[in-house]
């Protein structure tokens, strides 16, 4: 019986080792960016991305594509997140599979951090140059100091070709055109190898003689001074003098070779131009809002007042990048990511045109699996259980108006 037990124990151990080893070889591509894990209120009440466009779904290495659109810096920015006074327009990709060839907010290049104002809408564009082949989820993204990365909607883009063909030519102000992908590489390897070799030489000098036991005995016996000879001192001084001389000479030579150098550039870009949005002629009051957990649906009671001169209809509710649309009023024609688009996800109890000067209270339901898939339903576990989003109304001429809403949300569990 004991032999049997031992055998089982041994085999179990071998099986465990084999499993652990096998798991080490399973290395699937990491594609997600944690967008679904980010707290729902962060996605709903900070940056609202809309009118997004990914110019291509497939791009070859060295070719470019753009992501463009607008983002609204939500007026009801949560208290628990620092305001976007220091922010950076980033891009959510798994490492430099593209290079960021350019990024603009309000038409201004933004290689540095920017200061954004609450309640303002900005247009942006990011120019990407494909570098590494694969299928990549390409997200919009804004980093906010004290708030972290606020990731926007993502779309799959395929990069074809070979990374070895990638080049990144740049012309410097001294007139030289270089490939930034490999520039300065040999020089870096040379100097590191040189200094490493010098360090090794110093080590070898001491390691060729007996080290620990005899020297320890000598030190214990009070003969420590005898362990460093005159030759040792001369060699050491040679190393030190040589080191200082090499540093001085290499610095001098470098300054001759590169007479024009500048410090790293840094600083906050202020005064970023926002879009001058027209004064809304539609007023919306949220009477109440509930989230029905079993039905994966949010229901709002809205009182809509049309102060304009044309009848309007509600066509879209956009929150956290998920677009709930009433297909009878508006349809997406931009190729928006399917998983973020509920083409018939918006139901309005009475969505007949609301005439100018009239007011109406309606029940609006935004329902789709995206509530669950994108973990927006987790809003009910947030410390500040409020929701927010953008409502888009269309008038008879097809003109669109954007209205923001922000209200408490009550979950219902039955």
Partner 1 sequence: MSASQSAVRSRAEAVKASRTFDWLICFTLFFVVLGGYHIHYMLTGGDWDFWTDWKDRRLWVTVAPIVSITFPAAVQSMLWWRYRLPFGAVLCVLGLLLGEWINRYLNFWGWTYFPVNFCFPSNLMPGAIVLDVILMTTGSMTATAVIGGMAWGLLFYPGNWPIIAPLHVPVEYNGMMMTLADLQGYHYVRTGTPEYIRMVEKGTLRTFGKDVAPVSAFFSAFVSILIYFLWHFFGQWFNKTDFVKAA
Restricting to residues 131-170, which ones interact with partner 1 according to CB under 8 A? 131-132, 141, 143, 145, 149, 163, 168, 170
Total residues binding partner 1 (CB under 8 A):
94
CB of 75 to partner 1, least distance (A): 23
Pick the closer one to partner 1 by CB: 143 or 365: 143
Largest separation between any pair of C-alpha atoms in the chain: 104
Where does this chain touch partner 1 (CB under 8 A) — which range of 62-70, 208-216, 309-317, 396-404? 208-216
**Burial call 347-385: b when 16+ CB within 10 Å, e when fewer:** bbeebeebeeeeebebebbbbbebbeebbbbbbbebeee
Residues 19-48 that bind partner 1 (CB under 8 A): 33
Pick the closer one to partner 1 by CB: 185 or 369: 185
Sole binder of partner 1 in the list 12, 57, 135, 195 (CB under 8 A) = 195
Pick the closer one to partner 1 by CB: 89 or 342: 89
Pick the closer one to partner 1 by CB: 266 or 414: 266
Residues 352-381 that bind partner 1 (CB under 8 A): none
Residues 86-125 that bind partner 1 (CB under 8 A): 86-88, 90-102, 109, 111-113
CB of 63 to partner 1, least distance (A): 16
In this structure, are residues 394 and 315 in contact, taking their beta carbons and an 8 Å threshold?
Answer: yes
How is 232-300 classified by DSSP, letter by letter?
HHHHHHHHHHHHHHHHHHHHHHHHHH-----PPP---B--PPPB-PPPP-EEEEEEEEEEETTTTEEEE
Decide: is 203 part of the binding site for partner 1 (CB under 8 A).
yes
CB of 39 to partner 1, least distance (A): 17
Is residue 149 exposed (0-12), middle (13-18) or buried (19+ Cβ within 10 Å)? middle
The interface mask with partner 1, positions 226-265, x = CB under 8 A, is -xx---xx--xx-xx--xx-xxx-xx-xxx-xx-xxxxxx
In this structure, are residues 114 and 124 in contact, taking their beta carbons and an 8 Å threshold?
Answer: no
Residues 263-292 that bind partner 1 (CB under 8 A): 263-268
CB of 6 to partner 1, least distance (A): 34
CB of 73 to partner 1, least distance (A): 16
CB of 249 to partner 1, least distance (A): 10
Element (H, E) at 185: helix 185-207
Rounded to whole angstroms, the Cα distance separating 336 from 53 reads 7
Rounded (10°) CA dihedral 202, 204, 205, 211: 120
CB of 253 to partner 1, least distance (A): 7
Angle at 362 between CA 40 and CA 73, to 5 degrees: 35
Is residue 35 exposed (0-12), middle (13-18) or buried (19+ Cβ within 10 Å)? buried
Where does this chain touch partner 1 (CB under 8 A) — which range of 1-9, 153-161, 207-215, 280-288? 207-215
Pick the closer one to partner 1 by CB: 242 or 408: 242
In this structure, are residues 134 and 93 in contact, taking their beta carbons and an 8 Å threshold?
Answer: no
């Amino acid at each position: 019986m004991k032999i049997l037990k031992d055998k089982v124990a041994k085999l179990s151990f071998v099986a465990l080792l084999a499993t652990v080893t096998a798991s080490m070889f399973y290395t699937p591509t990491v594609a997600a960016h944690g967008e679904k894990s980010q707290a729902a209120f962060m996605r709903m009440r900070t940056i609202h991305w809309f009118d997004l466009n990914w110019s291509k779904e497939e791009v070859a290495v060295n070719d470019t594509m753009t992501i463009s659109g607008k983002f609204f810096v939500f007026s009801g920015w949560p208290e628990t997140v620092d305001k976007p006074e220091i922010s950076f327009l980033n891009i959510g990709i798994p490492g430099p599979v593209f290079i960021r060839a350019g990024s603009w907010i309000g038409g201004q290049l933004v290689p540095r951090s920017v200061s954004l104002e609450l309640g303002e809408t900005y247009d942006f564009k990011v120019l990407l140059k494909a570098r590494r082949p694969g299928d990549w989820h390409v997200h919009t993204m804004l980093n906010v100091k004290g708030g972290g990365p606020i990731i926007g909607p993502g779309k799959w883009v395929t990069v074809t070709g070979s990374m070895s063909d990638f080049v990144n030519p740049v012309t410097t102000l001294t007139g030289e055109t270089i490939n930034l992908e490999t520039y300065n590489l040999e020089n870096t390897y040379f100097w590191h190898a040189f200094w490493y070799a010098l360090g090794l030489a110093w080590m070898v000098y001491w390691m060729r003689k007996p080290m620990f036991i005899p020297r320890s005995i000598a030190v214990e016996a009070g003969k420590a001074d005898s362990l460093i000879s005159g030759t040792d001192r001369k060699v050491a001084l040679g190393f030190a003098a040589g080191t200082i001389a090499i540093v001085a000479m290499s610095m001098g030579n470098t300054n001759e070779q590169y007479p024009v150098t500048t410090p790293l550039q840094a600083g906050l870009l202020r005064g970023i131009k926002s879009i001058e949005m027209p004064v809304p002629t539609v007023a919306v009051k949220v009477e109440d809002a509930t989230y029905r957990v079993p039905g994966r649906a949010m229901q709002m009671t809205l009182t809509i007042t049309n102060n304009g001169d044309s009848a309007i209809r509600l066509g879209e509710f956009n929150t956290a990048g998920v677009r709930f649309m009433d297909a009878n009023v508006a349809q997406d024609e931009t190729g928006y990511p399917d998983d973020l688009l509920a083409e018939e996800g918006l139901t309005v109890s009475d969505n007949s045109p609301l005439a100018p000067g009239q007011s109406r209270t309606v029940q609006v339901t935004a329902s789709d699996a995206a509530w669950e898939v994108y973990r927006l339903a987790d809003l009910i576990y947030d410390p500040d259980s409020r929701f927010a989003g953008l409502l888009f109304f269309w008038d008879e001429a097809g003109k669109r108006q954007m209205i923001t809403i922000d209200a408490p949300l009550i979950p219902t569990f039955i």
